[in-house]
Amino acid sequence: MWHGASWTFIVWGLYHGVLVAAEHLARIHQWDDRRFAVPRRILTLLLIMLSWVIFRCKSMADIGGFLQAMLGRFPTSIFRQRC
């Protein structure tokens, strides 16, 4: 309720909860092997960037359009995409 009653905040909360549960179940924090350090950081960065798109956009349609622009489907429209 702090940020409003938008569906995007509910989706963001569910997304965040699923990630926390997946990390807990996979026990990722126990992987001390240095071979996985860079891939883990890249994956974390990508998941965090996705979560900020969900958090920032005002509607579910905006999320879809912005993600399509980020993935290169509409490479020239990413700067015109409003969230």
Residues 17-67 pLDDT 10s: 999 898 888 776 666 677 878 888 898 899 999 999 988 888 888 888 888
Whether residue 1 is contained in a domain is answered as: no
Residue 18, domain member (yes or no): yes
pLDDT of residue 30: 66
Contact 12, 59 (CB under 8 A): no
- Residue 24 in domain: yes
Q: Is residue 73 part of a domain?
A: no
Quickly tell me which residue has 């958090």 as its tokens: 55
Number of domains observed in the structure of the chain: 1
**3 carries an active-site annotation:** yes
Chain Cα centroid distance, residue 50: 2
Domain presence at residue 40: yes
| Residue 19 belongs to domain spanning | 7-57
Residue 12 lies in a domain: yes
- Amino acid, res. 46: L
- Please check whether residue 28 lies inside any domain of the structure: yes
Active-site residue, selected from the candidate residues 3, 16, 24, 29: 3
What secondary structure letter does DSSP report for 3? Answer: S
- Provide φ and ψ at 80, rounded to 5°: -95, -10
Of 2, 18, 80, 11, the C-alpha closest to 52 is: 11
Say if 33 falls within a structural domain. yes
